[in-house]
Amino acid sequence: MSSFPWLTVAILLPIVGAAVVALLPKREPGAALPKQVALGFSLVTFVVVAIVGLSFDVGGPRYQFTETHEWIRAFGAFYAVGVDGIGLVLLLLTAVLSPVVILASWHDGDGGRWSVNAFFAWMLALEGLAIGVFAALDVFLFYVLFEATLIPIYFLIGGFGGPRRSYAAVKFLLFSLLGGLLMLASVVGLYVQSAKTPSGPTYLLTELSKIDISTDVGRWLFLGFFIAFAIKAPMVPVHTWLPDAADEASPGTSVLLVSILDKIGTFGMIRFCLQLFPEASKWATPVVLVLAVISVLYGAIAAIGQKSIPRLIAYTSVSHFGFIVLGIFVLNSYGQAGSMLYMFNHGLSTAALFLVTGFLISRRGSRFIPDFGGVEKVAPVLAGIFLVAGLSSLSLPGLSPFISEFLVLLGTFTHNFWYALFAVLGIVLAALYILLMYQRTMTGPTRPEVAGVKDLGLREVSALAPLLVLIVLLGFYPKPLTSIINPAVADTLQQVGVQDPKPAVPASASGEENAQ
């Protein structure tokens, strides 16, 4: 492994690209140069992250490509970055989705409140900050980047969204700032705890995980982090900002928000809640699992009753994030591996669903399900991709989310039968909300207003193709991801101090019975 700062380059490339795009001469709506420059920077970033992924040593040390430089000596804060299997999977997801979103959003910034330059500059800035969040190995650095990601997404929603964009952007910001303030209190608490050690104050994750924090203090600090991550995730009852944001944001912005930014919540639960506060995590597990099951069921039931397609997809994500949190807190290898894999696969399927829905809405001029009908007769390619994306969202066997959901449920059954039983109902409801949406929009007689809808063009199919290919390939062969994820799962569970339950009938005993 070379000493070249690959992660720093991956963080800075899109941020530099954002500055370049912003400083280009302001172009009239429809100008191609800002879009081409943004796409170029995102593709180069993908290459850099791909090099990191291909060079990652599965059997090597947990954190690789590490860089540590003193940042703020008084706080014990460092610029410390590195990746393990968890962070690497989310880095890959970010690097894959960013150029896809830019290509799919080619015309979405033309009619916004600000210039097209601003639209694509904020997208690149968000990509760079998200990569930094997933690579951060210093708690203070993580917090700064965690808060910084709010800026580009706020302007993307507020400047390029629908009629109620200001309301949606402010609501998103208020919820996120509340979570950020609670996390800040816990970050300060960690500083106080680390200052008591002989080595002095530090925010390095590897050092903080060695500190013996008292039970009561650990639980309070855990709550500050967990609530912030639950808002970001989003979990019931702090999820209400997401449907409004997704309903008003452009399709590309919704993808960046739900498929990338919201993963910071579940990533943080693994990276910080479990690793820094193992006792508090086990203490909170029963309540977290109940909230996760409620999120699974509530999100699915709410999705069935929606008339707005983007709002429906947002509620499906509330349900899916419930599955992810469920897998994290059952505290066994099946659930943990399923959750990490679910984060990546949910990002793919939800991105495909949001983008193809965006193409559909832009053609019809409406986002409401009753305004559609019979689209498959006039736009068969669009309808076909819509169906594949929808089937992926409901975890059809053979598509990538299936194995993720299967592992989460397997881990949940291993932990507690009743949690798993209620979670399984979410799968049944998923079939309802996806298939009903497809039936009402794509099948039946073609409405007169839909008759003029054009099928997808080359650019739009090219943007969606990488997602569809990955959804199918990983559905049949998930090993490239699971081989990265499994060592990180083992390390996390060891740090929490839990082991997979032993089989009810040991293999040796079973063999003796057969011999008799």
Interval 231-237 mean pLDDT: 91
Going by C-alpha positions, the residue among 287, 283, 266, 292 that lies closest to residue 218 is 283
* Cβ pair 362, 406 in contact under 8 A: no
**pLDDT digits 0-9 by tens, 468-483:** 999 999 999 999 999 9
| Phi, then psi, of 198 in degrees rounded to 5 | -60, -30
- Per residue in 166-223, pLDDT (tens digit) is 999 999 999 999 999 999 999 999 988 888 888 778 889 888 888 888 889 999 999 9
CA dihedral for 57, 61, 62, 64, sign (positive or negative): negative
Residue among 315, 314, 312, 308 at smallest CA distance from 368:
308
**CA 442, CA 405: separation in Å to the nearest integer?**
27
pLDDT in tens, 484-503: 999 999 998 988 887 777 76
Q: Is the pLDDT of residue 22 over 70?
A: yes
pLDDT of residue 513: 46
Angle formed by the axes of helices 458-476 and 85-104, nearest 10°: 160
Residue 66, H or E segment: strand 64-72
Tokens linked to 380: 């068969």
Taking the model in full, what pTM does it have?
A: 0.92
Q: How far is CA 199 from the centre of its chain?
A: 36
- From the number of C-beta atoms within 10 Å of its C-beta (0-12, 13-18, 19+), residue 277 rates as buried
Q: Which residues, in sequence order, are CB contacts of 47 under 8 Å at separation 6+?
A: none
| Tens of pLDDT, residues 77-106 | 899 999 999 999 999 999 999 999 999 988
CA pair distance 84, 348, nearest whole angstrom: 21
Q: How far is residue 147's CA from residue 211's CA, in Å, rounded to a whole number?
A: 26
Single-letter residue type at 5 = P
Prior bond of 237 cis (ω within 30°): yes
Q: Are 11 and 78 in contact (CB under 8 A)?
A: no
